[in-house]
Chain A
Amino acid sequence: MSVIKKIFIISFFLILISCQADKTYILVEPGKVEINKIYSVNTNMKWSQFQEREYNFLFWTVDGYTLQRIVFFKPLEDGQSLFDYDSLFTKENEKRPTFNSKMNKFEIKEFFESCIIWSREFTSFETTDIKNHKIGETEGVSFDIKAQNELGLNYKGFAVVGIKNNKLYSIYFIATEMEFYDRYKKEAEEIISSVKIL
Chain B
Amino acid sequence: MEPKYTIRIFDKERPQILLMPVDIEICELTIAGMCEPSASWTQSSKENIIISFEEILNTRNAILKKYNKNKQNDEIIQLIKLHTQIGQEIINNEYGTFELPTKKEFNWTLGKKVKLLKQKNNSDYAIFIFLRDQYSSTERVIYSIITAVLFPGIIPIGGSQIAFASLVDLNNGEITWFNGYYRSFGDVRDLENARNTVNKLFEEFPG
Q: A27-B102, A63-B89 are in contact. Are A177 and B150 (CB under 8 A)?
A: no
A9 on interface, CB distance cutoff 8 Å = yes
Q: Is the CB of A13 within 8 A of B145?
A: yes
Give the CA-CA distance A149 to B150 in the complex, in Å: 14
A84 CB to closest chain B CB (Å) equals 15
Could you tell me the distance in whole angstroms from the C-beta of B65 to the nearest C-beta in chain A?
A: 23
Q: Is the CB of B101 within 8 A of A25?
A: yes
C-alpha gap A44/B151 in the complex (Å): 30
Given contacts A12-B146, A63-B89, A151-B81, contact A48 B103 (CB under 8 A): yes
CA distance A75 to B153 in the complex (A): 27
Q: Size band of the B side of the interface?
A: 35 or more
Stretch in A16-24, A138-146, A189-197 with 4+ CB within 8 Å of B = A16-24
Q: In the complex, which residues of chain B have a beta carbon less than 8 angstroms from the beta carbon of A121?
A: 151, 153
Digit string of A50-69 for contact with B (CB within 8 Å is 1, else 0)? 10000000000111111100
> Nearest CB to that of B99 among chain A residues?
A25
Is the beta-carbon distance between B100 and A63 smaller than 8 angstroms? Answer: yes
Q: Is the CB of B139 within 8 A of A1?
A: yes
Closest B residue to A46 using CB positions: B102
Q: In chain B, residues 38-65, which have Cβ atoms closer than 8 Å to a Cβ of chain A?
A: none
Known: A62-B103, A154-B78, A177-B78. A67 touches B85 (CB 8 A): yes
Contact, CB under 8 Å: A9 / B146:
yes
Are A150 and B154 CB-contacts (below 8 A) given A13-B146, A179-B110, A179-B113?
yes
Contact with B along A98-109 (1 / 0, CB 8 A): 000000000000
Chain B residues, Cβ within 8 Å of A176: 82, 85
Please state if B142 and A153 are interface contacts (CB–CB under 8 Å). Answer: no
Q: Which residue of A lies closest to B111 (CB)?
A: A179
- Looking at A63, A154, A176, which has the most chain B CB atoms within 10 Å of its CB? A63
Interface stretch (choices B17-25, B90-98, B190-198): B90-98
| Interface presence of A79 (CB below 8 A) | no
Interface size class of A (residues with CB under 8 A): 35 or more
Contact of A64 among B77, B93, B97 (CB under 8 A): B93
Query: Are B152 and A6 touching (Cβ within 8 A)?
Result: no
Query: With A48-B101, A179-B111 in contact, do A67 and B89 touch (Cβ < 8 Å)?
Result: yes
User: Which interface residue of B82, B93, B103 has the most chain A CB atoms within 10 A?
Assistant: B82
Shortest beta-carbon distance, B74 to chain A, in Å? Answer: 9
In chain B between 117 and 171, which residues have their CB closer than 8 angstroms to a CB of chain A? 139, 142-143, 145-146, 149-154
A179: nearest chain-B partner, CB-CB: B111
* Any A CB within 8 A of the CB of B79: yes
Quick check: B78 and A178 within 8 Å, CB to CB?
yes
> In this complex, what residue of B is CB-closest to A60?
B102
Distance in Å: Cβ of B160 to nearest Cβ of chain A: 12
User: Cβ of A151 and Cβ of B100 under 8 Å apart?
Assistant: no
B35 interface hit (Cβ, 8 Å): no
Which residues on the A side are within 8 Å of B81 (C-beta)? 151-153, 178
Per the bound structure, the CA–CA distance linking A13 and B88 in Å amounts to: 19
Is B84's beta carbon under 8 Å from chain A? yes
A112 at the interface (CB under 8 A from B): no
Across the A-B interface, the 4 shortest Cβ-Cβ residue pairs? A64-B89, A179-B111, A27-B101, A153-B81
Binding site for A on B (CB under 8 A): 75, 77-79, 81-82, 84-86, 88-89, 92-93, 97-103, 108-111, 113, 139, 142-143, 145-146, 149-154, 173
Q: Can you pick out 8 interface pairs between chain A and chain B where the beta carbons lie within 8 Å of each other?
A: A25-B99, A46-B102, A63-B108, A66-B85, A66-B153, A151-B84, A178-B78, A178-B82
Given contacts A48-B101, A61-B102, 6 further A-B pairs with CB under 8 A are A6-B139, A24-B99, A46-B101, A150-B153, A179-B111, A183-B111
